[in-house]
């Protein structure tokens, strides 16, 4: 029997041993991350379907997705500035309270009044006078629910880099990712169980209340158990000059990765918010078997759980494989799964087992994330990991902001455009948006295959 304590040996429990060996304050913060991940995953993947039930359509769902992209891009900097000013414990608690309130706003949305936009006369144009439904409160809640996630992305990357040997970065990120992904697994499973017992809109409001309860418990726990007296997050943001300087200082290996990653994330952004809608409305597939019968909404939660099981089981072995093959092939594999999944999903038959297989395949994209993160932060100077990471994600996420809105126009629009060169007509609809997503993603895969660079420690 091999000794699992040797330097080179890695077993399936290694990540868990590392987790429980953390200092108490870091352990508390990590546990809070797990609980908030659970709350986010049991709710956010269902919000597009929730918007449909509140009377909106594909264009509104696309706007919701783009607003989420915008928040993800701009929240980290003011969040970091607030943390520097009031201290990390106060900031963490404030973000957590706001996030909890956001789940409650989402739960209350069907009971809240809509808004009538007042009429405004501008010469011959009469603007306004239309009613905005209760889905408006989903947008309001989005600003609130994303608050906790705004804290510490760059700092997390930098901490892992400082604590890990360069040639073991992928395994270091795998150790932290696994526990966050446990929340990604449990959240959809809990949502599926609740939704299996009741009609969607009522059941989802119960799910939102559960998420608010989980978030409240995590808020109290981190406030009273987390000792942030020795936290060192780094310098505060000093303006656009900082971004320009960090872009200029970005290692050469990162630039092709950033271009390819942005193409692939933009492609994914075109359709990501519509995955639940495709399963529940376009394909309308539920599950029957093993003595249970699930609605399409409940079945979607099961599919997300299947996706996460594959992600968790493959993350450590794939990260270990990266130490033999290099980071680039593993990152490329994750990119390829991202790219081809949309066209496979939209052309899938309405068969429950085909969808199980497809979402299991989709889980492989997460297996490449530790290698991807190692490829981002690895080439950075030892004390610049957080800044380089923050700049990388700011640029990528800013460019990706409009993707969901564009996807909404493609998915739910009512238009057709003739293409004489192809002797064809492009018609808005799910097939067009999902096919275009795959074409765009494959462009990113090809670019990375040709121009992507390997991190020297893995070469």
- Domains of the chain (ranges; CATH) run 22-117+132-224+239-458 (1.20.1250.20)
Structure confidence by residue, pLDDT tens digits, 1-18:
444 434 344 444 554 555
Residue 448 pLDDT: 94
Q: Which has the closest alpha carbon to 334: 349, 346, 322, 352?
A: 322
On whether the CB atoms of residues 342 and 273 are closer than 8 A, the answer is no
Angle of CA points 380, 400, 366, to nearest 5°: 65
Residue 218 pLDDT: 86
User: What whole-number distance in Å separates Cα of residue 324 and Cα of residue 376?
Assistant: 18
* Three-state secondary-structure class, residue 77: helix
User: What whole-number distance in Å separates Cα of residue 375 and Cα of residue 389?
Assistant: 11
User: What whole-number distance in Å separates Cα of residue 335 and Cα of residue 444?
Assistant: 8
Where would I find the beta strands (DSSP E) of 169-294? 287-289, 292-294
On whether the CB atoms of residues 204 and 210 are closer than 8 A, the answer is no
Residue 47: exposed, middle, or buried by beta-carbon count in 10 A (0-12, 13-18, 19+)?
Answer: buried
Of 319 and 162, more confident: 319
Structure confidence by residue, pLDDT tens digits, 391-403:
787 888 899 999 9
pLDDT (average), residues 37-52: 94
3 phi, psi to nearest 5 deg: -90, 110
Cα torsion through 124, 126, 127, 129, rounded to 10: 180
Which strand (E) or helix (H) includes residue 416? strand 416-419
User: What whole-number distance in Å separates Cα of residue 90 and Cα of residue 82?
Assistant: 9
40 CB contacts (<8 Å, ≥6 apart)?
A: 145, 149, 183, 187, 211
Structure confidence by residue, pLDDT tens digits, 76-134:
766 656 665 666 667 778 888 999 999 999 999 999 887 665 555 555 555 455 567 78
Structure confidence by residue, pLDDT tens digits, 204-262:
999 999 999 999 998 888 777 755 555 444 444 455 666 677 677 777 778 899 999 99
User: What whole-number distance in Å separates Cα of residue 255 and Cα of residue 379?
Assistant: 11
On whether the CB atoms of residues 292 and 196 are closer than 8 A, the answer is yes
Q: What residues does 292 pair with on adjacent strands?
A: 289
Where would I find the beta strands (DSSP E) of 80-192? 115-116, 120-122, 125-127, 131-132
CB-side neighbour CA atoms (13 Å) of 22: 21
On whether the CB atoms of residues 181 and 311 are closer than 8 A, the answer is yes
Residue 156: exposed, middle, or buried by beta-carbon count in 10 A (0-12, 13-18, 19+)?
Answer: buried
* pTM of structure: 0.83
- Residue 150 banded pLDDT, cuts 50, 70, 90: low
* Three-state secondary-structure class, residue 459: coil
Region label for 228, one of left (φ > 0), alpha (ψ between -120 and 50) or beta (otherwise): alpha
Q: What residues does 121 pair with on adjacent strands?
A: 126
């Amino acid at each position: 029997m091999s000794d699992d304590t040797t330097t080179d040996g890695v077993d399936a429990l290694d990540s868990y041993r590392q987790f429980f060996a953390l200092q108490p304050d870091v352990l508390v913060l990590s546990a809070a991350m797990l609980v908030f991940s659970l709350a986010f995953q049991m709710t956010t993947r269902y919000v597009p379907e929730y918007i449909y039930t509140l009377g909106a359509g594909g264009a509104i769902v696309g706007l919701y997705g783009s607003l989420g992209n915008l928040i993800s891009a701009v929240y980290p900097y003011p969040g970091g500035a607030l943390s520097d000013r009031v201290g990390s414990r106060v900031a963490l608690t404030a973000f957590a309270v706001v996030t909890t309130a956001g789940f409650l706003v989402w739960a209350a949305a069907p009971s809240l009044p809509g808004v009538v936009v007042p009429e405004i006369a501008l010469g011959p144009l009469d603007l306004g006078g239309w009613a905005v439904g209760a889905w408006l409160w989903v947008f309001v809640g989005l600003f609130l629910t994303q608050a906790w996630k705004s804290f510490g992305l760059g700092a997390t990357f930098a901490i892992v880099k400082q604590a890990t040997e360069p040639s073991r970065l992928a395994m270091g990120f795998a150790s932290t990712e696994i526990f966050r992904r446990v929340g990604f697994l449990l959240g959809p499973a809990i949502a599926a169980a609740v939704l299996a017992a009741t009609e969607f809109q009522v059941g989802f409001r119960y799910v939102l209340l559960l998420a608010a309860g989980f978030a409240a418990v995590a808020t109290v726990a981190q406030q009273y158990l987390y000792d942030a007296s020795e936290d060192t997050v780094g310098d505060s943001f000093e303006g656009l000059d900082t971004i320009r300087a960090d872009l200029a200082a970005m290692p050469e290996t990162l630039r092709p990765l950033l271009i390819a990653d942005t193409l692939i994330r933009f492609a994914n952004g075109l359709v990501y918010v519509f995955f639940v809608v495709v399963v529940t409305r376009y394909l309308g597939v539920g599950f029957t078997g093993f003595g249970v019968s699930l609605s399409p909404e409940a079945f979607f939660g099961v599919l997300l759980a299947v996706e996460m099981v594959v992600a968790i089981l493959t993350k450590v072995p794939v990260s270990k494989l990266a130490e033999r093959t290099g980071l680039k092939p593993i990152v490329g594999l994750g990119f390829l799964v991202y790219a081809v999944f949309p066209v496979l999903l939209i052309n899938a038959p309405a068969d429950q087992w085909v969808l199980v297989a497809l979402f299991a395949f989709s889980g492989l994209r997460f297996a490449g994330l530790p290698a991807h993160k190692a490829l981002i932060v690895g080439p950075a100077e030892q004390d610049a990991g957080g800044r380089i990471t923050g700049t990388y994600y700011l640029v990528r996420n800013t460019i990706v902001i409009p993707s969901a809105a564009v996807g909404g126009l493609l998915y739910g629009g009512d238009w057709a455009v003739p293409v004489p060169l192809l002797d064809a007509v492009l018609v808005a609809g799910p097939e067009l948006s999902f096919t275009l997503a795959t074409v765009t993603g494959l462009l990113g895969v090809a670019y990375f295959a040709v121009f992507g660079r390997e991190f020297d420690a893995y070469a």
